[in-house]
């Protein structure tokens, strides 16, 4: 039986690396697009591609002619960009527009999955769901919402078959140091001081394996009513950041001479203080259930870092 063609755009990201190790992907003819070379660069179906080049991205996607697309490409680092004077506040929107332009010309596309963010909802001291009005307060959430709106326009105008996933704060082994938990782990390993605010802001932490399961659930769902929809992927329980530090400290208490040193700076504040994400829709309609509690996730990271 001929396999469906699956294209993953942004194959060099932390999330993509974990997704590519999932056994379900063996059922597809897999194609990868990345702006930079990586360990998959030698694969026959790997394309190193500048996503800002509209014609190039259209030509490559036309050649691949995928049945499924998972769009994970995202950049927060201006050093990775060769385009001037474009900032990374809108370069991701340019990437997305070029990809959408290519997708609406495909005849055999069954599903386009985009990874948005729960940052799109902004600062809310109550549980938000997919019907909540997005009011992002950070630029990351703002540009993710702009991309979401572009995709929704393409769905309405061109009948693009879409699923938008909004994960909460993803964490796990091997993550870049620009997030709180890997920064905490790095400070612990190197005996450096973790500089932080009061830690009173709430976050919903989602372990990477649970996110990957959610992406696979969205990929394999066959009910057409589930297409053209948005799903929150969150653990469903929020913790104060200072709680994360205390949980981690308890985990390393049994280790001799192991400490996590912190320095509290009350002036360090976060625009988004509250972060409560309802995941009932994904549970009910995708059959997705997150399994890894925060403490379990931290234990797994510690084992990985040994």
| Cβ-based neighbours of 184, under 8 Å, separated by 6 or more | 194, 244, 245, 248, 260
Considering the chain, what is the average pLDDT of its residues? 89
Q: Is the pLDDT of residue 257 over 80?
A: no
3-state secondary structure of 162: strand
pLDDT recorded at residue 234:
98
Residue 198 DSSP class: -
pLDDT in tens, 218-249: 999 887 566 679 999 999 999 999 999 999 99
Structure tokens at 178: 């620009």
Mean pLDDT of 46-72: 96
pLDDT recorded at residue 68:
97
Q: Is the pLDDT of residue 269 over 80?
A: no
**138 phi, psi to nearest 5 deg:** -110, 155
Structure tokens at 6: 């699956």
Percent of all residues in the chain with a pLDDT value above 70, rounded to a whole number = 90
Mean pLDDT of 174-192: 91
Q: In sequence order, what are the beta bridge partners of 206?
A: 170
Q: How confident is the model at residue 253 (pLDDT cuts 50, 70, 90)?
A: confident
Mean pLDDT of 73-82: 59
Tokens 């504040």 correspond to: 269
Helix locations, the chain, DSSP H: 14-19, 54-64, 91-103, 139-158, 180-190, 208-220, 241-252, 280-281, 294-305
Q: Is the pLDDT of residue 264 over 80?
A: yes
Structure tokens at 58: 């259209």
Pairwise CA distance, residues 270 & 140, whole Å? 13
Q: How confident is the model at residue 35 (pLDDT cuts 50, 70, 90)?
A: confident
Pairwise CA distance, residues 54 & 40, whole Å? 23
User: What DSSP assignment string belongs to 108-157?
Assistant: S--EEEEE--GGGGBS-SS-B-TTSPPB--SHHHHHHHHHHHHHHHHHHH
Higher-confidence position of 253 and 158? 158
For 263-302, b/e burial (b = at least 16 CB within 10 A) is eeeeeeebebebbbbbbebbeebbebebebebeebbebbb
Tell me the domains of the chain and their CATH numbers: 4-172+206-236+275-290 (3.40.50.720)
For 46-70, b/e burial (b = at least 16 CB within 10 A) is bbebebbeeeebbebbeebebbbbb
Maximum Cα–Cα distance across the chain: 62
Pairwise CA distance, residues 151 & 71, whole Å? 11
pTM over 0.85: yes
pLDDT recorded at residue 225:
60
3-state secondary structure of 212: helix
pLDDT recorded at residue 274:
80
Higher-confidence position of 257 and 7? 7
pLDDT in tens, 81-127: 444 444 555 899 999 999 999 999 999 999 999 999 999 999 988 99
pLDDT recorded at residue 78:
39
Q: Is the pLDDT of residue 185 over 70?
A: yes
pLDDT recorded at residue 7:
98
Number of Cβ within a 10 Å radius of residue 214: 24
pLDDT recorded at residue 158:
95
pLDDT recorded at residue 259:
81
Pairwise CA distance, residues 114 & 52, whole Å? 18
pLDDT recorded at residue 271:
66
Q: Is the pLDDT of residue 80 over 60?
A: no
pLDDT recorded at residue 87:
52
Mean pLDDT of 194-203: 91
Pairwise CA distance, residues 128 & 278, whole Å? 6
């Amino acid at each position: 039986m001929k396999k469906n063609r699956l294209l993953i755009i942004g194959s060099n990201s932390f999330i993509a690396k974990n997704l590519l190790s999932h056994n379900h992907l063996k059922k597809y003819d897999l194609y990868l697009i990345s702006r930079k070379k990586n360990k998959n660069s030698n694969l026959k179906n790997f394309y190193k591609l500048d996503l800002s080049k509209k014609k190039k991205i259209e030509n490559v996607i036309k050649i691949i002619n995928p049945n499924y697309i998972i769009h994970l490409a995202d950049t927060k680092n201006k050093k990775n960009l060769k385009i001037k004077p474009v900032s990374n506040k809108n370069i991701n929107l340019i990437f997305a527009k070029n990809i959408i332009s290519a997708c609406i010309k495909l005849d055999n596309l069954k599903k386009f999955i985009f990874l948005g963010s729960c940052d799109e909802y902004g600062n809310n001291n109550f549980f938000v769901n997919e019907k909540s009005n997005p009011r992002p307060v950070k630029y990351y959430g703002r540009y993710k919402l702009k991309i979401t709106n572009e995709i929704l326009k393409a769905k309405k105008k061109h009948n693009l078959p879409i699923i938008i996933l909004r994960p909460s704060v993803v964490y796990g082994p091997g993550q870049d140091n620009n997030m709180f938990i890997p920064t905490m782990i790095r400070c612990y390993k190197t005996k450096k001081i973790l500089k932080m605010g009061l830690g009173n802001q709430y976050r919903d932490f989602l372990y990477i394996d649970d996110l990957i399961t959610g992406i696979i659930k969205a990929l394999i769902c066959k009910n057409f009513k589930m297409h053209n929809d948005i799903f929150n992927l969150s653990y469903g329980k929020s913790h104060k950041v200072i709680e994360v530090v205390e949980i981690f400290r308890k985990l390393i208490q049994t280790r001799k001479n192991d400490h996590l040193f912190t320095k509290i700076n009350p002036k360090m504040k976060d625009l988004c203080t509250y972060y409560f994400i309802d995941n009932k829709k994904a549970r009910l309609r995708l059959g997705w259930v997150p399994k890894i509690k925060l403490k379990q996730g931290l234990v797994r990271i510690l084992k990985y870092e040994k």
